[in-house]
Amino acid sequence: MSTESEKKDYSKQKRIKIHQPDASKADRFNPRNRIYVRAIEGVWTQLRRRLGWVAMLFFLILPWIPWGDRQAVWFNLAEQKFHIFGLTIWPQDLTLLAALLTIAAFGLFFVTTYLGRVWCGYTCPQTVWTFIFIWFEEKLEGARNKRIKLDQMPWTFNKLWRKAAKHAAWIGISLLTAMTFVSYFVPTSEVYIDVFSLNASGGIYFWVVLFTLATYGNAGWMREIMCIHMCPYARFQAAMFDKNTYIVGYDQKRGETRGPRSRKADHKEMGLGDCIDCDLCVQVCPTGIDIRNGLQYECINCGACIDACDNTMDKMNYPKGLIGYTTENKLDGIKEKVLRPKLVGYGAALITMIVVFVYASATIAPVRIDIIRDRNQLFRENNDGLIENTFTLKILNKTEETHEYQLTVEGLPSYEWYGPQKVKIEGGEVLTLPVSVAVDPVNLSRPMLKVDFKVKTETAAGDLIEAQQESRFFSQ
């Protein structure tokens, strides 16, 4: 049995070991120092894996969903139309897109203030694709220790075929990702048929190759470098964090002093905490940090270290939760506050933006009219002695159906219309129509009158579609 002085010496040695830098990890920010992520099973790993597959399948399947004679989601840059199921966004409605991006930003701010970097850990494309690549790596090269040994081995047939199969799988996933991404901008059937039949345009091949290389490089080689060095979100997240934000935290009071021990040993008598210093929390971390050193901006809140620690606690018959989702206040023994000004502010802004977006989306005018006056001549007197103004009407049919529109002008006492007053416009078409309006000068009380050009039609269901645009009629 150890004496009391031996116990103190052992504890002192373990404390010294804790704070001495590990030479093998001292330069973990060097991109050339590869991180070998250890596989782990647990509640949070399963949740992250399922969310990742859902996000991946959603991304892959969405361009294949049909909607009428087109795909449901199609960002048609050539015709400057964004189709999102039944909603068509034109360049004139790009404020909706700005509102949608603002909603996404405030949603991210709200979630980060409350739950920390769960976006990074569970649904960020970089994280999702990185873990998919790691899954292929584990299946083809083996577990963490086997991958380390494989990289240290000389080149043999075994190493060659495993490496080749891994990179082939990575490139396959990257190519599928790139073609799916391009399918959001070019009809899906055209992308897959034209690319593999070598009939695609140079632009399509350029973007497919570019995004294939980007995905392969980001998820296969750069991985944590993207999160640590290139992603701006990791840098400004501190502005959204407070001491009540949920983070992945290590209970230092319970875990220290850490050190190895047998399962049957009474670690309390040895002067040790619950942490057995197994380093599994470091080995499963995709960014290679030690969560026991406190909150670090590199932590993406993926929960892998929580699962690793909980598994170890189970084996040691210790309570779980040595590492878990917690707050700084809770770790310090201070009562947590859910509602705080920053969180309420983000929530209020988010709800406001959602309401504005829904209202604006529901009230998008299905037809739009723009008026361009003749800039060379404000007015002229025609052969009938009438004062005539010339306009160019640009009428945009935002629907996907052909409609016949009636054109009128309001604000004039009585007028003569020169040009067609009934026009047929196909879905998505912009009609440019020059017209002239003439008025007897006797009926003009002022040198300039405000007028409204109106365009209207009735759908097959009996719904009235109309729009108007203000302009001016000059007589002097």
Quickly state the pLDDT bin for 214 (edges 50, 70, 90). very high
Query: Domain boundary residue among 219, 235, 251?
Result: 235
* Alpha helix positions (H), 20-124: 43-61, 94-115, 118
Note the pTM of the prediction, 2 decimals: 0.79
Quickly state the pLDDT bin for 23 (edges 50, 70, 90). very low
CA distance 94 to 360: 11
Give the model's pLDDT for residue 164: 96
Burial per residue of 338-365, b for 16 or more beta-carbon CB atoms within 10 angstroms, e otherwise: eeeebbeebbebbeebeeebeeeeeeee
Torsion angle of the four alpha carbons 134, 211, 224, 221, in this order, in degrees rounded to the nearest 10: 60
Torsion angle of the four alpha carbons 229, 235, 241, 247, in this order, in degrees rounded to the nearest 10: 0
**What CATH number did the domain enclosing 386 receive?**
2.60.40.10
**Token couple for 55:** 């996000």
Q: 418 — phi, psi (to 5°)?
A: -105, 110
* 176 within some domain: yes
Kindly tell me if the per-residue pLDDT of 94 is higher than 80: no
67 and 209 assigned to the same domain:
yes
Say whether 186 sits in a helix, a strand or coil: coil
* 339 within some domain: no
Beta bridge partners of 433: 393
* 433 within some domain: yes
Query: Domain boundary residue among 180, 211, 235?
Result: 235
* 307 within some domain: no
Concatenated DSSP letters of 298-338:
T-----HHHHHHHHHHHHHTPPS-SEEEE-HHHHTTPPP-S
Average pLDDT over residues 193-219: 93
* Residue 238, CA distances (Å) to 94, 117, 126, 241 in order: 31, 10, 20, 5
Average pLDDT over residues 37-50: 94
* Amino acid identity at 349: A
**Token couple for 208:** 């497919």
Residue 463: give the domain boundaries.
Answer: 367-474
What are the pLDDT digits (tens) for 444-455?
888 889 999 999
CA distance 173 to 168: 9
Kindly tell me if the per-residue pLDDT of 212 is higher than 60: yes
What are the pLDDT digits (tens) for 228-248?
888 888 778 778 899 999 999
* Amino acid identity at 46: Q
Kindly tell me if the per-residue pLDDT of 12 is higher than 60: no
What's the domain count of the chain? 2
How many percent of the chain have pLDDT more than 90?
61
* 10 within some domain: no
Give the model's pLDDT for residue 297: 86
CA distance 45 to 49: 6
* 454 within some domain: yes
Give 231's contacts (C-beta < 8 A, 6+ positions apart).
120, 126
Kindly tell me if the per-residue pLDDT of 10 is higher than 70: no
Query: Domain boundary residue among 235, 261, 277?
Result: 235
* 216 within some domain: yes
* 371 within some domain: yes
Give the model's pLDDT for residue 173: 96
Q: 406 — phi, psi (to 5°)?
A: -100, 130
Average pLDDT over residues 50-76: 92
Q: What is the mean pLDDT of the chain?
A: 87
Q: 465 — phi, psi (to 5°)?
A: -115, 125
What are the pLDDT digits (tens) for 152-171?
999 999 999 999 999 999 99
Does residue 303 contact residue 121 with C-beta atoms inside 8 Å?
A: yes
What are the pLDDT digits (tens) for 97-133?
888 888 999 999 999 999 999 999 999 999 999 999 9
Give the model's pLDDT for residue 13: 39
191: exposed, middle or buried (C-beta count within 10 Å: 0-12, 13-18, 19+)? Answer: buried
Q: 388 — phi, psi (to 5°)?
A: -120, 135
226 and 372 assigned to the same domain:
no
What are the pLDDT digits (tens) for 352-374?
999 988 888 887 788 889 999 88
* Amino acid identity at 7: K
Kindly tell me if the per-residue pLDDT of 30 is higher than 60: no
